[in-house]
Structure 1
Amino acid sequence: MDLERNHKWKACDYDSHIELVSTVNGEGQEGTQSSYGFVSYFGEAVRRMKANDKRACITREVRKELGLEFKNLPPAEKSKYVSQQHRVDKVAHDEAKFLTRCAPDRFEVVVGQLTDKQREVVCEMGLDNLIKLNCGRLKRKLCCWLVERTDVARCVIELNGSELQISANSFRYIMGVTDGGLPLLLEGDRSHVAAYLEKYNVTSSGINIKTLADILQNSREANEEFKVTFMLFTLCTVLSAPTDQLVSGIT
């Protein structure tokens, strides 16, 4: 079909059309599994049309005609577009699995509301450089790219044929936090932290991150309770972020 000869295009901005087109069969209706590669075919056809006429406007009739064309393609040629769609779906699926609640922007908002005394206490805790953090939201694609190139067993990141060794010292240097110091007690009597469990409204699943943020934003004290709350919030938003809204392993 010679679309350039058979159709007169109206002037319009077409760029927004591609993202609105779903799988379509020859009747212009939502397609079945056999025609889901139409999205790739449609995009290629439209790019070709627009190269010939930048003012080309894709109407319902044009989409229908393209749908019929795709439906009548030989199986071997149609499979090419189906394979392309498989690759797109796989990339989207892989990206969706990269989940983290690491949120430097949320951390920055809370830090911005700390009093001078609270900042002094945070510095005493060895987090003085961390409260200067100002990087906004994480770039998920970049994080995923780095994770894919990290060999956890050997503690190295493979970059362009070279290997970058990573260690606790690397983390300390980059994040600006003290490495070592006070011992951590990971076990103990639940009654010793009963007041905190009640204050944080702890459930069997853990502590909600928003609860910690709200407590910090409404606090003007720089006492032991503030230290515990700030440390938990720092862990779950920057240092060791979970994949959901809850800080687990507390109870």
Structure 2
Amino acid sequence: MMVVMRNEQEHSESEGSRAKKKKKHDGTSRPACSWVHFSREFIKEYTASHPESSGLKAATKAASDAWKLMSPEEKAKYTNRAREVWDKYLSTTPARVPKPRRQTKLVTRCSPGRLLNVLQRLTPDQKAAVKSMGFGSILNLRCRTLRRSLCLWLLEKFNTVRRSLEICGERIPLTPRDVELVMGLASNGKDVVNSGPDELIAELRKKYNATNRGISVRLLEERLAVPEAGDDFKRSFLLYVLGTLLCPTAREVARYRQGKQRAVGGCLLFLQLFYYESVAVGEPSELSPAIFPCLASWGEEEISEREKQERELGGYGCGEENMPMSGSEGNAVCVDIEIADPVRAPCRNAQYGCAEIVDYTKRKEHEEVCLCAPCACPIRKCHFVGSSTQLSEHFSSKHWDSGRRFQYNSPLPITLNKNETFLVLQAEKDGILFLLNKGTESIGHTVMITCISPSSSKEQYLYDIVSERGNSCLRLKSYTNNYPGRVEGSPPVDFLLVPFGFLNPTGKLDLEMCIWNSTDIGAD
């Protein structure tokens, strides 16, 4: 008797649990579509009128055939019914928040080992070509494999909004300067122009068999195996480095963490090495010189030893945060830096004619005094920018009628109209451009001459400006200052103040000027 009662009780409990599950399922199920509403009604009628049918399969097939033959007007009854049920479902059911899928496997195209194999086969000329492009630091790569468990952990700790790692109880921001210190790649420079003539782009796409899916990495490896170091090699090398190592994007990390994609595109090697450099483990030791770039200090042996220390501490994130690599705003970080291999890079003014290839650490010093620094065309609405030599050629060909040509050491009479604020002067001997600038003050006009050239240029020209009215004469004798374009406002240079009373009857300003070239300074 007890056994029967227990069985009945268990049976009732199981039925109750099934009923509860069914009720819960019915309460959260999505509404049926118009076809389901029709098929339910059709199958019920079909079964009643065809008792000899073989079952649900035949009835469902008959419903499908009937649905296909129905017109849109006949289907509208069921479509409207399904829409009403769906609208009611949306208005009463809370929005479902998708739960991010936890990733347990890392899929990435970042392959330092593959790149390392290519680097080891480069010839000396090819390595020199790589350095000439400013990518010489990549030649210091020693790491062959990614520590995928570490990368997965770092991806979970990466804040895609703040661009930071939240580890060791701290928020460690990642900046372009950190990329420079870790990878040895410049954090500033010229913008990449992602455009060009359609014919050239079509030719390059054909040359590299480019499709909508990209360029084959294997094809690039075959091209890099050819022992030449020209433009084709440089182009192929950059594409290969971008495809196998670089190009980090926080957006892809966010999509990966949301479970929207399986692979992570970007430089996971940078994330790994940044963690090694930012978090200290093991016994504290004396401060040793940092190696620039950090890429050169992490080989397989060093990484294996670091991973061993991480395991002994209990896992990742158990160390202590080092001093920020790039420092914080307002605080300078002073450490001894040892250059693993002097990285040489072209001057950023290479497009303006500078052919200098300088050490990376001295690049900024060179660019501050580079004579190929860009100068802007002084003509309004003209956006040409180039070196002083390029600007001279541009002005001679495009704006030859917008200025005055003059000879050094020879007086030149000039008249400035009432609304004329400057006049471009071009020397016939060497094409150097000067600006005769006119400003307006409360009692008269200010007049000065400047030279259009890089501000770092040490070359100066002696000039003389004379304004006369009757027996009165005003004169300024001074040296030109160098400005890379038009002068705005009132620069701190010598000027001649010409009272309004010196203007001619039509309101124009009559002047006589003379410019001596640099070899004749001191002549009068």
Q: TM-score, normalised by structure 1?
A: 0.56
The answer to whether residue 203 in structure 2 is matched with residue 195 in structure 1 is yes
1:84-103 per-position Cα deviation (integer Å, ceiling 9, x unaligned): xxxxxxxx97223x321000
Structure 1 residues 98-124: Cα deviation after superposition (integer angstroms, max 9, x where no partner) = 321000000011111111111011111
User: Is 1:229 aligned with 2:266?
Assistant: no
Distance 1:185 1:132 in 2: 28
Greater percentage in strand:
2
1:150 alignment counterpart: 158
Name the counterpart of 1:74. none
Once the 2 structures are TM-superposed, how far is the Cα of residue 178 of structure 1 from its aligned partner?
1.9
In the TM superposition, what is the alpha-carbon distance from 1:161 to its structure 2 partner?
0.4
- Deviation by residue 1:124-178 (Cα, 9 ceiling, x = unmatched): 1111111110111111111111111111211211112012111111111111112
Query: Whose radius of gyration is greater, 1 or 2?
Result: 2
1:94 counterpart residue number: 103
- 1:239 matched to 2:241? The reply is no
Tell me the residue number matched to 1:179.
Answer: 187
Instruction: Please give the secondary structure, in 2, of the residue aligned with 1:129.
Output: helix
Separation in 2, partners of 1:114, 1:224: 15
Return the alpha-carbon distance in structure 1 between the equivalents of residues 199 and 133 of structure 2: 25
Partner secondary structure for residue 95 of structure 1: coil
**What's the counterpart of residue 222 of structure 2?**
214
Equivalence for 1:134: 142
Residue 125 of structure 1: aligned partner: 133
User: Per-residue deviation at 1:188?
Assistant: 2.7
CA distance in 2, matches of 1:226, 1:181: 22
Q: Who is 2:92 aligned against?
A: none
Residue equivalent to 2:171 = 163
Shift of 1:240: 2.1
Paired with 2:166 and 2:173, the residues of 1 have a C-alpha distance of 9
Residue-by-residue CA offset, 1:42-77 (whole Å, 9 max, x unaligned): xxxxxxxxxxxxxxxxxxxxxxxxxxxxxxxxxxxx
Matched positions, count? 152
Name the Cα RMSD after superposition. Answer: 2.3
- In structure 2, stretches of 5+ residues that fail to align are 1-100, 253-262, 266-524
1:12-63, Cα deviation, whole Å (9 max, x unpaired): xxxxxxxxxxxxxxxxxxxxxxxxxxxxxxxxxxxxxxxxxxxxxxxxxxxx
SS at match of 1:206: coil
SS of 2:104's partner is helix
Q: Which has the higher contact order (CA 8 A, sep 6+)?
A: 1
Q: Distance in 2 between matches of 1:93 and 1:148?
A: 9
